[in-house]
Amino acid sequence: MFTGIILGKGTIFEKRPSGGGMLFGLAADFDLPEPEEGESIAVNGVCLTAREMHGRRFLVDVSPESLSRTNLGRLTTGSAVNLERALRLSDRLGGHLVSGHVDATTGVLEKKPLGDFVLFTFAVPQGLGRYIIEKGSIAIDGISLTVNHVDAKTFSVSIIPHTLLVTTLGAIKAGDSVNIEVDPIGKYVEKLLAAKDAEGVQTSRINPAFLAEHGFLK
């Protein structure tokens, strides 16, 4: 589990086929104290297992599933990525809960400077629009961000100067592809609301009336 608060960037120094997937060699631009062989590290928001950790360098194996659902397969040697180590229970939850399981990729439609800030507009990935809400949280390439505006086809986020500096968002441009992970809470609620037994009878006590009664719906 992650928070979407990026520790820094990494550079791909090696990329090669391995076991039907790919092997990446990554070099972080920050120290990795107390490295643990096999620990989880989010790479552009994708939860991967780090091995052969030496100093700031480590290897990760990227499965065919991750290659098909994320933008990692499009990256090349020299590409920059966002890095975050797994959340500890004692850590501050500065962003939101991010699983590292990417839902889809989407394209950058517009990158518009607003003083020192930048407003990004993205296409809403097919099937995910109902999970993206105004002022809600979303992870883009592993970065916890707040949705400024959303409609049926697009959503936008405003990026502060610090985030532009320490993540890859400062370098991406219109037409680039990014990884999207929606806030998982909405998906859990949706499944609970839809839960039925073999005879089609609602099995969960959680329903729209319950949510309205307890102030979650108006």
Specify whether 169 is located in the same domain as 141. yes
- Residue 99 inside a domain? The answer is no
pLDDT value at residue 209: 77
Domain count across the chain: 3
146 is a domain residue: yes
pLDDT of 90 reads 80
- CA distances to 26, 43, 50, 131, 194 from 57, rounded to whole Å, are 6, 13, 10, 36, 45
Q: What b/e string do you get for 35-61 counting C-beta neighbours within 10 Å, with b at 16 or more?
A: eeeebbbbbbbbbbebeebeebbbbbe
Same domain, 122 and 176: yes
Residue 96 lies in a domain: no
Work out the percent of the chain whose per-residue pLDDT is above 70.
93
**Which residues pair with residue 28 across a beta bridge?**
10
Residue 44 has pLDDT above 70, yes or no: yes
Q: Residue 93 domain-assigned?
A: no
How far is 12 from 80, CA to CA, in rounded Å? 7
Range(s) of the domain holding residue 65: 8-85
Examine the pLDDT at 218 and tell me if it is beyond 70. no
* Residue 161 forms part of a structural domain: yes
Q: Which of 57, 85, 113 is the last residue of a domain?
A: 85
Q: Using one digit for the tens of pLDDT, what is the confidence trace for 66-88?
A: 999 999 999 999 999 999 999 98
Residue 3 lies in a domain: no
Give tens-digit pLDDT for 108-154. Answer: 999 999 999 999 999 999 999 999 999 999 999 999 999 999 999 99
Residue 90 lies in a domain: no
Residue 92 — pLDDT band, cuts 50, 70, 90?
confident
